[in-house]
Structure 1
């Protein structure tokens, strides 16, 4: 059965495990919501868990609502340069940063505007790095209870995040901060490299958001 997901910014390990284990359909007709993984991800730095946040242009007026697919990133300051510099500082001593550096660095240049499409680019880039193909199929309408799909859209929620029983792996600053679970898949990739796909395939997914 196919799985329904939101494209998020360098998705969490749990979300990328879902991408690796199922054929994905992307939700393209929902409203944008703040404080979700739609425009943020978490990495590990020397100071602990750190958020990388993509600024977006907010719509005016009383409604203030906009479709996720219509959200435009705020590029008036160079957040891409800032994010890449932070990643370099955090992971330059990790075992596989240099191995994937050239592939990933291209994402942090260029005039991207659509948050939805940029997130799809980050997902495709990671998929290429680990050797899988990610479908581009999107929904044609919004459904509260989609039929014939595993609804895993809750994985985009950053505030009420599910607790996962995940196997630990060696992180750059683990001695300082202990193991930090379910960071961005970037953390797994830079630390585990060629073992990333097998880790994702064996990730014990429980897709019941009420568990």
Structure 2
């Protein structure tokens, strides 16, 4: 049984899913520390003229806290900004009307902490992708036996080509002539629908 330890990213990128493509168990911990300039509270989507980053604002400028203690900041209107951005980016995508109703209700809630928000989003994405790997919550990943540990490795500051997990496999995107790799999983879901899982499996770097 293959166990993969991961950080709990917000609407993770394709590289994240290529890492867990053949995992029997995906191991996460609410005690993992929040990291600045990471994908823990941001994701990337493709608009008509650019790639846009959607960020979840948090309370405190540099919290040295476990993810389960990082509070989401609702003084900013980020939920409507996200929904508007996602609708602008993918409203005309082939599978938008099928998948969007699963995700939009999450934005209507007020999750107290980043951990709860990310966990619910990942659970939904795994379901939509028909991933069979079990999502397991543990106290301390250091005490677990895992086959692959990618914590702290996937981030926006280092290009995916520098790592040995993901290779781009182009699919038809809504905008632009050039393929934009490694966006949020939203991109491949809305653009390819049921084909998304097969494409992600083929994007695993050998």
TM-score (norm 2): 0.88
Match for residue 69 of structure 1?
Answer: 68
Contact 1:14–1:205 (CA<8 Å) still a contact in 2? no
Q: Structure 2 residue aligned with 1:174, among 163, 166, 176?
A: 176
Deviations 1:139-186 (A, max 9, x none): 32253x9744311113442212321421111111122xx211100010
Contact preservation (8 Å) 1:18, 1:205: no
Look up the SS of the partner of 2:4 in the other structure: strand
* 1:53 corresponds to which of 31, 35, 55: 55
Deviations 1:30-77 (A, max 9, x none): 2211110000000100121110000000178xxx51112211110112
Unpaired runs of 5+ residues, structure 1, are 207-211
SS at match of 1:20: coil
Specify the alignment match of 1:195 in structure 2.
Answer: 195
Contact 1:38 1:156 in 2 (8 A): no
Partner residue, 1:209: none
Task: Give 1:55-134 correspondences, 5 Å limit.
Answer: 55-58=57-60, 64-133=63-132
Partner of 2:4: 3
User: Secondary structure in 2 aligned to 1:50?
Assistant: strand
SS in 1 for 2:51: strand
Aligned residues: 200
* The 10-residue stretch of structure 1 (102-111 or 188-197) with the greater mean CA deviation from structure 2: 102-111
Aligned CA RMSD, in angstroms, stands at 2.1
Change (3 A) 1:147 1:130: closer
- Is 1:186 aligned with 2:190? no
- Greater displacement, 43-52 / 155-164: 155-164
Whether 2:156 is the aligned partner of 1:158: answer: yes
User: More displaced, 83-92 or 12-21?
Assistant: 12-21
Q: 1:27 — aligned with what?
A: 29
Supply the distance in 2 between the matched residues of 1:74 and 1:156 (Cα, whole angstroms). Answer: 24
Alpha carbons 1:59, 1:66 under 8 Å: kept: no
State the secondary structure of the residue aligned to 1:106: helix
For residues 121 and 134 of structure 1, what CA distance do their matches in structure 2 show? 16
Q: TM-score, normalised by structure 1?
A: 0.86
